[in-house]
């Protein structure tokens, strides 16, 4: 039973980490809002990340609207961890 509680707490902390990261890229803490391509580009440049931003956006932007919402953002973060 205690293990179950720790697992729930860990999942809650992990979810908060996703939200915090989403907010740092320009989303809202209530999981609304969208991250614009230009903002992702600026964040990547600020941290010296050398990634193909256009390719990254096309992988993340599953609905093709040119912005990243929370569900798309979380999906790309969790896909490589499973």
Architecture per CATH, domain 2-79, reads as Orthogonal Bundle (1.10)
- pLDDT tens-digit map of 30-75: 999 998 888 888 887 888 877 787 787 788 888 888 889 999 988 8
pTM, entire model: 0.70
Task: Please determine, for residue 5, whether its predicted confidence score (pLDDT) is greater than 50.
Answer: no
Domain ranges of the chain: 2-79
Task: Please determine, for residue 79, whether its predicted confidence score (pLDDT) is greater than 70.
Answer: yes
The Cα 74–Cα 82 span in angstroms is 12
The Cα 28–Cα 30 span in angstroms is 5
The Cα 67–Cα 69 span in angstroms is 7
């Amino acid at each position: 039973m205690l293990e179950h509680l720790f697992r729930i707490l860990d999942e809650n902390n992990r979810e908060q980490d996703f939200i915090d990261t989403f907010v740092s890229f320009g989303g809202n803490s209530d999981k609304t809002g969208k991250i614009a391509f230009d903002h992702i580009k600026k964040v990547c440049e600020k941290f010296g990340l050398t990634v193909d931003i256009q390719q990254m956006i096309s992988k993340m932007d599953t609905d093709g609207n040119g912005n990243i919402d929370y569900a798309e953002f979380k999906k790309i973060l969790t896909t490589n961890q499973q």
